[in-house]
A = this chain, B = another copy of it.
């Protein structure tokens, strides 16, 4: 019995190939930082600082490229909470966020306990893509 988390494996090269991405050293290094443990909310700068501290540094341009590719491949989603502050979120399931100001921390909360009733129908000619709820809290 392999030591894996339910539903995910630590074989990042395979997971990247399955997502249609070549498992390069850089992408595997970033995938490990992102997907080896609990769900995370990272900024490009933050992830770059982390990977720079490792034995296998990656350029900032590659961090941006990779985060965008992971998002486009559905491995991440992007959460915009403040002007010029965009987080990449390893939790791609339905959930919502607490945003703690002024620290800028972002915390998940499950959407299955939350009920949103009475949403109006989308404007003519559009269809629903996603509902984001951001609960802004202050210290």
Contacts and interface: CB of A to CB of B under 8 A. Distances in A.
Interface string A79-118: 0111110100000000000101100000101000111111
B126 A137 contact: yes
A7 interface: no
A37 interface: no
A70 to B, nearest CB: 16
A103 B14 CA distance: 37
Contacts of A61: none
Interface residues of A, number: 37
A135 B128 contact: yes
Given A83-B84, A98-B123, A126-B139, 13 more contacts: A80-B80, A80-B83, A83-B86, A107-B123, A109-B119, A114-B116, A115-B117, A116-B133, A122-B135, A123-B137, A127-B138, A128-B137, A134-B134
